[in-house]
């Protein structure tokens, strides 16, 4: 049953969004529903993603593990790339066997978990992660009284929404928007940013619908609502980069009776902390291998630093590591000999990117607008982000800040040492280790072990049969780290439950269907057993 120590959780996950909301002080924003949420909760202006792009960031969120620790740091592992066919993709990343989606721990504690419906984890979502992972996923489909964790992903603010498609009308006045000083200020660029404001209006409407549904269901008081974005804004030098434009995200949490309405917390928060925070709030034990930390609730821990990465994104390899506290950002470029604007065809479709290349070719860019065309890159970058919000004045060679530079440099090195950094391993080597002989490994099918007085779990059931009551049925998978799903329903559209303890079978005939999955492996073949308990 839902009780105060087992609250409901609602996540509203936006895409490619910095805090361009009215509640964050943006005068152009038209976000009444997001502002309504903030009026009842707390804003976290120092919240950041672990990467400036969706899939590595989302893999960290769903596992509570840094993407560089589990091999999910290269963007788009599952896509066949027509432009560069000799790359090691496609593959599904294979984290260590103990790594799970944190939602499995919630399901094991009795929560009904739904995702509607973006995943993008760098591995195929395991069947054990969600009760419902579809466009129909909703808390309203749970059993009566069951606590829920529900995620909704309005996708309308994605970077591609800034592209001019089908001559869509723009309702935000392009003359009113303000572009960062390192981007060209042209009509085409202004229109692109105006479209982002329009798309935020659409996202805000969907936020309002979800908040209204909570009210209709009488759940608003005992549901903790989180609103966040998977990374920063989809503008050049924002998305795909560890600058604040690419990793600073909106984060709003409403928790009736526990968080002061219309409040603000300046604590540092990383998106890797979301999962551990939810587990803590729901009274579910967090495994020791999880690398995030709760930022709310009884186990709340204050951060001193957040960390961000950049590796291969689409066609082009890179490696950048960054660490930030509340005042300074340190960035290390592992390939200073590479230009900033590596070849990424998808990004080059962005109208602002097209304007940058056009004006650069015409020799019409100057000052800060040449930032992304400067060569070579500095090996180290240090910014006073408190006073230089666009990160344009590199202080790495400022002798008065030598102590700061050394502290941030050492902090980054310690983080890499403590959590591991697979950026040092070539992608070909990673895949070769994960895919022996080039083949993705497959999870072994579960087996059935009947347990009763005459057979106390000595061996598996070899075929269907009759058993005397009482009968427990234990499920086992021989693949290290595999999770098991089961159902007693028939047909295609069934609800697969997470196996956590032996099944107590009722008298009569029962058909049990099982399958197993380890993250990164192929799902097992289904195994079925028909049992008659007499």
Active site residues: 54
Query: What would the two tokens of residue 531 be?
Result: 């049992």
Residue 436 makes CB contacts below 8 A (sequence gap 6+) with none
Angle, nearest 10°, between helix axes 187-216 and 32-39? 50
Residue in this structure with the two tokens 């723009």, named with its chain if needed: 170
- The H or E element that residue 509 is part of is strand 508-517
How many other C-beta atoms can be found within 10 angstroms of the C-beta atom of residue 514?
24
| CA separation for the pair 42, 32 (Å, rounded) | 16
Residue in this structure with the two tokens 């309203």, named with its chain if needed: 140
Residue 26 makes CB contacts below 8 A (sequence gap 6+) with 19, 20
| CA separation for the pair 245, 52 (Å, rounded) | 8
| CA separation for the pair 101, 77 (Å, rounded) | 18
Q: Do residues 250 and 21 touch, judged by C-beta distance below 8 A?
A: yes
DSSP summary character for residue 197? H
Q: What are phi and psi of 521, to 5 degrees?
A: -90, 160
- Checking 241-244 for CB contacts under 8 A at 24+ apart, the result is 241/52, 241/310, 241/320, 242/51, 242/52, 242/308, 242/309, 242/310, 242/320, 242/321, 242/322, 242/331, 243/52, 243/329, 243/391, 244/48, 244/324, 244/329, 244/385, 244/389, 244/391
Q: Do residues 162 and 195 touch, judged by C-beta distance below 8 A?
A: yes
| CA separation for the pair 487, 81 (Å, rounded) | 37
């Amino acid at each position: 049953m839902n009780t105060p120590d087992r609250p409901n959780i609602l996540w509203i996950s936006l895409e490619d969004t910095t805090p361009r909301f009215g509640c964050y002080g943006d005068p152009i924003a038209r976000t009444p529903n997001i502002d309504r949420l903030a009026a009842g909760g707390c804003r976290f202006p120092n919240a950041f993603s672990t990467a400036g792009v969706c899939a590595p960031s989302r893999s960290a969120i769903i596992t509570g593990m840094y993407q560089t620790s589990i091999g999910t740091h290269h963007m788009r592992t599952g896509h066949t790339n027509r432009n560069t066919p000799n790359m090691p993709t496609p593959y599904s990343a294979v984290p260590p066997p103990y790594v799970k989606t944190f939602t499995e721990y919630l399901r094991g504690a009795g929560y009904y978990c739904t995702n509607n419906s973006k995943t993008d984890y760098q591995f195929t979502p395991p069947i054990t992660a969600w009760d419902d992972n579809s466009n129909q996923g909703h808390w309203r489909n749970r059993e009566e009284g069951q606590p829920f964790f529900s995620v909704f992903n309005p996708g309308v603010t994605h970077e591609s929404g800034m592209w001019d498609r089908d001559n869509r009308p723009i309702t935000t006045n392009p003359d009113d928007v303000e572009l960062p000083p390192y981007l060209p200020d042209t009509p085409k660029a202004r229109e692109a940013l105006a479209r982002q404001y329009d798309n935020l209006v659409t996202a805000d409407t969907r936020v309002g619908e979800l908040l209204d549904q909570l009210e209709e269901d009488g759940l608003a008081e005992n549901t903790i609502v989180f609103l966040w974005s998977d990374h920063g804004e989809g503008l050049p030098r924002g998305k795909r980069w560890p600058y604040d434009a690419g990793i600073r995200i909106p984060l709003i949490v409403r928790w009736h009776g526990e968080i002061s309405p219309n409040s603000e917390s300046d604590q540092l928060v990383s998106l890797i902390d979301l999962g551990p925070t939810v587990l803590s709030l729901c009274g579910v034990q967090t495994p020791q291998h999880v690398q995030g930390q709760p930022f709310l609730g009884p186990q709340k821990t204050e951060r001193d630093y957040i960390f961000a990465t950049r590796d291969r994104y689409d066609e082009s390899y890179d490696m950048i590591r960054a660490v930030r506290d509340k005042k300074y950002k340190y960035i290390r470029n592992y390939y200073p000999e590479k230009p900033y604007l590596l070849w990424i065809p998808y990004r080059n479709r962005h109208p602002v990117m097209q304007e940058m290349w056009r004006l650069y070719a015409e020799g019409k860019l100057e000052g800060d607008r040449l930032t992304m065309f400067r060569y070579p890159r500095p090996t180290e970058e240090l910014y006073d982000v408190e006073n230089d919000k666009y990160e344009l004045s590199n202080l790495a060679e400022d002798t008065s800040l030598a102590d700061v530079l050394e502290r941030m440099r050492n902090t980054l090195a310690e983080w890499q040492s403590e959590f591991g950094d697979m950026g040092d391993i070539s992608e070909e080597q990673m895949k070769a280790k994960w895919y022996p002989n080039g083949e993705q490994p497959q999870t072994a099918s579960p087996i059935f072990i009947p347990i009763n007085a005459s057979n106390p779990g000595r061996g598996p059931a070899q075929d269907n049969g009759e058993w005397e009551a009482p009968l427990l049925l234990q499920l086992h998978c021989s693949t290290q780290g595999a999770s098991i799903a089961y159902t007693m329903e028939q047909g295609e559209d069934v609800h697969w439950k997470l196996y956590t303890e032996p099944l107590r079978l009722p008298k009569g005939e029962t058909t049990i269907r099982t399958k197993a999955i380890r993250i990164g492996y192929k799902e097992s073949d289904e195994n079925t057993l028909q049992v008659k308990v007499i």
